[in-house]
Amino acid sequence: MPKGYVILTEAIRDQAGMDAYSRAATPSMVEANASVLAVDAEPEVLEGRWHGDRTVVLEFESVEAARRWYESAAYARAQPLRQAAAETNAVLVAGFEMPPRRA
């Protein structure tokens, strides 16, 4: 079963509001066994346009686990704080496992 990843790009309008969101969202991420793989204020854009001031990549044990976290009551309490403080794009993607090499 592939891992699940939630990727958020955030155009922050209110840093204090985002700090409050982080404090409110962290317990839900811990409860869901999420790993924060990246938080970057200045990603290097290799092609095209990138949205926002900050990019966050969260890893979950599966796509289903990521969806459960995003739809959880615990995260639902934090989400309005983020929505008030930033314009965000969020996607859920499945990890990819390379097939084994044949000898």
What is the pLDDT, as a whole number, of residue 1? Answer: 84
Q: Give the CA diameter of the chain.
A: 55
Q: Specify the amino acid at residue 61.
A: E
Alpha-carbon distance of 101 to 67, in angstroms, equals: 31
Query: Which residue in 27, 10, 1, 2 sits closest to 91, CA to CA?
Result: 10
Top-confidence residue, 13 or 103:
13
Q: Establish if 102 belongs to a structural domain.
A: no
Average pLDDT over residues 22-41: 96
72-100: per-residue pLDDT in tens? 999 999 999 999 999 999 999 999 988 88
Regarding pTM above 0.85, the answer is: yes
Query: Domain of 22: which CATH number?
Result: 3.30.70.100
Q: Specify the amino acid at residue 67.
A: R
32-46: per-residue pLDDT in tens? 999 999 999 888 999
What is the pLDDT, as a whole number, of residue 103? Answer: 72
Question: What total number of domains does the chain contain?
Answer: 1
Alpha-carbon distance of 33 to 69, in angstroms, equals: 9
> 87: domain range?
4-94
Q: Establish if 87 belongs to a structural domain.
A: yes
What is the pLDDT, as a whole number, of residue 31? Answer: 97
* Mean of pLDDT over the chain: 95
